[in-house]
Amino acid sequence: MELIGFEKVRDGKYLKNYELTYLNKSGREKKFEIVSHRDMTDPSQIGTRSSGVSIAAVCGDKMLLLREFRMGVNRFVYNLCAGMIQPGETVEECVARELYEETGLQVKQITAVLPPAYAAVAMSDAMNQLVFAEVEGVISEDHTSENELIEAAFYSKDEVKHLVATEPFSARAQAVAYYFACM
């Protein structure tokens, strides 16, 4: 596989669309489309920068999950608290800001920050970091944007196990929730 062409084909407000031209393993030309949060000028920039965080948060023996309406699938899904890293912001600052904006909670302790991982390798170069944290405070949705519909709550292992078996999830949240419920 060899990348032989790179062209931006659409410049949206939040997403940029690129068309990549490859030679496949048979030596035939193939077109492939990706989206990115980044404005790239060279193919060497593809998939090189983390753009956000996902927060696996617990308070005591309960896990924080968000039930949120996602326009991309036109339905409510269970998800982790997550968001984009702002220019000049550290991962830890982003975690504290996003957690407060989406839930009103505060970080008690960050227990692990995993290296950046690709969020949707079949269609995007988006990378984010999974952060594990203990949180505290009282949930309040007064801080959310008017463009977000988020219902935050803490769930026991049994409740999470039931949700994973019966409700739609984002892939990363489903995996984290499953392991939380089964450990």
Burial class (CB in 10 A: 0-12, 13-18, 19+), 39: exposed
- Residues contacting residue 51 through CB under 8 Å, at least 6 positions apart: 37, 38, 84, 85, 126, 127, 128
Quick one: 41 and 54 in the same domain? no
Residue 73, pLDDT score: 92
| pTM summary value | 0.89
Quick one: 94 and 107 in the same domain? yes
Residue 68, pLDDT score: 95
Quick one: 59 and 22 in the same domain? no
49 confidence band (pLDDT: 50, 70, 90): confident
Quick one: 134 and 173 in the same domain? yes
Tens digit of each residue's pLDDT (9 = 90 or more) over 58-85: 999 999 999 999 988 999 999 999 999 9
Q: Which residue has the tokens 């800001």?
A: 97
- Nearest to 153, CA basis, from 111, 103, 112, 117: 103
* Lowest mean per-residue pLDDT among 40-44, 65-69, 107-111: 40-44
Structural domains of the chain, count: 2
In the 8-state DSSP scheme, what is residue 174?
H
Distance between CA atoms of residues 177 and 57, nearest Å: 10
Tell me which residue range forms the domain holding 124: 50-182
Quick one: 156 and 118 in the same domain? yes
pLDDT exceeds cutoff 80 at 33: yes
